[in-house]
Copies of this chain bind each other. A is one copy, B any other.
Amino acid sequence: MSDHPSFDQKYTLNPIGRVSSPLVSRADAPKQGDEGTPDAWLVIASEYADAAQDLRVGQDVFVFTWLHQANRSVLRVHPRSNPQGRLYGVFSTRSPDRPNPIGLHRVTILEVNGETRIRVAELEAIDGTPVLDIKPILKPGRER
């Protein structure tokens, strides 16, 4: 007997907030966070305020987003570094177009306003992008 989930089981994401950013389209968004990306606010839904209560200025965190404009049927892409080159499987790229378009962003917290508004540095996600999770970046011996 096994309690494995079925191979075709689906799972439902309930966004915990959204991004508020001056970036308004995918064309505006830099490809990675170190290419002149603006700061952004994470606006957390009030029902998840308790989960965000210990986020503090200066902390480095991973922000998980849902790249809601992605094309989920894409399995291979031309790398941005060489659009004339061969196709690569999307699991070897950071393309937003992929079967489960989860964005992973490493950011520093710049400001916390009332537990549900968190300003972060250099977030490469467009305005309105759903936020799924926030996790601390672990330092050795500092797991919590």
Q: Interface residues, chain A, CB within 8 Å of chain B? A: 2-5, 7, 9-16, 18, 31-32, 45, 48, 50-55, 59, 61-62, 64, 66, 68, 72, 75-76, 79-81, 88-94, 98-100, 102, 104, 127-128, 130, 132-136, 138, 143-144
Is A102 in contact with B133, judged by CB distance below 8 angstroms?
yes
A11's contact among B15, B48, B75, by CB below 8 Å, is which?
Answer: B15
State the number of copies, please: 2
* B-chain residues with CB within 8 Å of residue A7 when the two chains form the complex: 15, 18, 45
Known: A89-B50, A89-B51, A99-B14. A135 touches B64 (CB 8 A): no
* B-chain residues with CB within 8 Å of residue A54 when the two chains form the complex: 88-89, 91-92
Is B50 in contact with A130, judged by CB distance below 8 angstroms?
no
Known: A11-B12, A55-B89, A55-B91. A102 touches B102 (CB 8 A): yes
